[in-house]
């Protein structure tokens, strides 16, 4: 089984769909540039899985961003997954994170979900910090803000991350199927609640679905690869410096001799010397010899 893939499935003759996702190499690659405390490593893994599970339910080309901010030790957790299932993640914190639980770290924080469709304006929603886990917080958001019944199971052990999503289809055409089997949603969720972390991490999609839902008729679709990918470029950094303004850029050059910027997600270093920094604000004339 591909350990970095998402597998969609549906329950035949019902209005219920699902996704399974596992991350191994993509999880490790996305976080290899940071020495993360265990609590943050686990939280970012769960957020990465959640972002892949959720964006695959959306009919859009673009990206989904899950971002947690706090005024305490934890400053920022952010995960981005695009519609091609390319992931990136990072964290920022101050001081030592020892025995604090994830819930303690985000107690005074804010959880934001952002959709950035390719050809339209971004949409942002606030996820209430209600529940005992990231999964429960996102479930409440989907129910209250999107009016879509959604349940999530997320797990990360620091080496692998995995998860499962179940969702009741909101389309009008599915109401007839729901009337034929009105107990399907409750029944399927009761069965799904028996899943263990070991099963999510180790079983193939075929075996896992058969074990959990042995009396249900399920159609499993082909898996899609999930990979770590950072979209940073020198051009993006240059544009950021232009927005900073020439006086500020010149001040940094005078003080440090050059501008050095590391990407927050992949840690790639971008360096601009005095000549390159000046060229951002003054077009260089091209002279040709005759």
Instruction: Identify whether 174 is part of a domain.
Output: yes
Domain stop point among 205, 228, 251: 228
Asked if 90 and 109 sit in the same domain, the reply is: yes
DSSP symbol at 101: -
- Predicted confidence at residue 108, as pLDDT, reads 83
Instruction: Mean pLDDT check: name the lowest of 8-22, 64-78, 207-221.
Output: 64-78
Which tens digits make up the pLDDT trace of 164-201? Answer: 999 998 764 455 565 667 899 999 999 999 999 999 99
User: 90, exposed or middle or buried, with CB in 10 Å at 0-12, 13-18, 19+?
Assistant: buried
82's CB contacts (< 8 A; 6+ apart) are: 55, 62, 63, 64
DSSP symbol at 12: T
Asked if 211 and 251 sit in the same domain, the reply is: no
Asked if 100 and 213 sit in the same domain, the reply is: yes
Instruction: Identify whether 257 is part of a domain.
Output: yes
Query: Strands, DSSP E only, in 94-209?
Result: 110-117, 123-127, 150-156, 161-168
| Cβ contacts of 147-155, under 8 Å, gap ≥ 24 | 149/185, 151/189, 151/192, 152/50, 152/53, 153/192, 153/195, 153/200, 154/46, 154/49, 154/50, 155/46, 155/49, 155/197, 155/200, 155/201
H-helix or E-strand containing 272?
A: strand 269-272
Q: Report whether pLDDT(252) > 60.
A: yes
In degrees and rounded to multiples of 5, residue 286 shows phi and psi of: -105, 120
The angle subtended at Cα 213 by Cα 17 and Cα 171, nearest 5°, is 20
Asked if 53 and 176 sit in the same domain, the reply is: yes
pTM for this prediction:
0.86
Instruction: Identify whether 16 is part of a domain.
Output: yes
State mean pLDDT over 81-91: 94
Q: Report whether pLDDT(285) > 90.
A: no
Asked if 69 and 194 sit in the same domain, the reply is: yes
Instruction: Identify whether 285 is part of a domain.
Output: no
Other Cβ atoms within 10 Å of 97 Cβ, number = 19
Domain of 167, CATH number, reads 3.55.30.10
Q: 223-255 as b/e, with b when 16 or more CB fall inside 10 Å?
A: bbebebbbebeeeebbeebeeeeeeebeebbee
Which tens digits make up the pLDDT trace of 26-37? Answer: 999 888 888 888
Instruction: Identify whether 12 is part of a domain.
Output: yes
Confidence of residue 23 (pLDDT cuts 50, 70, 90): very high
Domain stop point among 192, 210, 228: 228
- List 7's β-bridge partners, or say none: 20
Instruction: Identify whether 128 is part of a domain.
Output: yes
Domain of 247, CATH number, reads 3.90.1280.10
Instruction: Identify whether 286 is part of a domain.
Output: no
Nearest-angstrom CA–CA distance, 220 and 34 = 36
Asked if 222 and 78 sit in the same domain, the reply is: yes
Helix axes 134-145, 38-55, angle to 10 degrees: 30
Asked if 198 and 87 sit in the same domain, the reply is: yes
Asked if 110 and 161 sit in the same domain, the reply is: yes
Asked if 113 and 241 sit in the same domain, the reply is: no
Q: What percent of the chain has a predicted confidence (pLDDT) above 90?
A: 55
At 190 the three-state DSSP class reads helix
289's CB contacts (< 8 A; 6+ apart) are: none
Q: Report whether pLDDT(109) > 80.
A: yes
Asked if 193 and 173 sit in the same domain, the reply is: yes
- Predicted confidence at residue 176, as pLDDT, reads 58
H-helix or E-strand containing 19?
A: strand 16-23
Token pair 């469709």 in the structure block, residue: 117
The angle subtended at Cα 150 by Cα 162 and Cα 51, nearest 5°, is 45
Give the count of domains, the chain: 2
Asked if 114 and 42 sit in the same domain, the reply is: yes
Q: Do 11 and 218 contact (CB within 8 A), yes or no?
A: yes
Asked if 119 and 170 sit in the same domain, the reply is: yes
Q: Residue 226's closest CA among 1, 2, 5, 27?
A: 5
Give the domain extent around 134. 5-228
Q: Do 113 and 104 contact (CB within 8 A), yes or no?
A: no
Instruction: Identify whether 164 is part of a domain.
Output: yes
């Amino acid at each position: 089984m591909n350990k970095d893939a998402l597998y969609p499935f549906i329950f035949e003759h019902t209005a219920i769909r699902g996704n399974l996702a596992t991350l191994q190499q993509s999880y490790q690659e996305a976080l290899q540039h940071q020495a993360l405390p265990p609590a943050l490593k686990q939280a970012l893994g769960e957020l990465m899985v959640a972002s892949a599970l959720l964006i695959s339910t959306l009919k859009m080309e673009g990206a989904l961003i899950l971002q947690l901010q706090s005024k305490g030790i934890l400053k920022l957790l952010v995960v981005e997954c695009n519609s091609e299932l390319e992931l990136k993640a990072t964290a920022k914190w101050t001081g030592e994170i020892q025995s604090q639980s994830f819930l303690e770290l985000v107690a005074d924080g804010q959880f934001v979900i952002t959709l950035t469709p390719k050809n339209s304006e971004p949409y942002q929603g606030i996820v209430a910090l209600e529940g005992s886990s990231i999964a429960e917080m996102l479930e409440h958001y989907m129910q209250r803000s999107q009016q879509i019944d959604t349940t999530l199971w997320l797990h990360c052990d620091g080496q692998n991350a995995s998860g499962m999503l179940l969702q009741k289809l909101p389309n009008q055409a599915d109401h007839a199927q729901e009337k034929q089997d009105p107990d399907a949603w409750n029944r399927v969720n009761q069965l799904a609640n028996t899943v263990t972390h070991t099963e999510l991490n180790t079983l193939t999609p075929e075996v896992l679905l058969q074990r959990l839902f042995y009396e249900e008729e399920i159609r499993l679709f082909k898996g899609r690869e999930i990979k770590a990918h950072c979209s940073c470029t020198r051009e993006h950094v240059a544009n950021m410096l232009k927005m900073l303004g020439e006086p500020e850029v010149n001040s940094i050059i005078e003080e440090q001799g050059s501008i050095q910027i590391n990407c927050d997600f992949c840690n790639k270093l971008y360096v601009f010397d005095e000549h390159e920094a000046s060229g951002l604000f003054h077009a260089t004339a091209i002279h040709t010899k005759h």
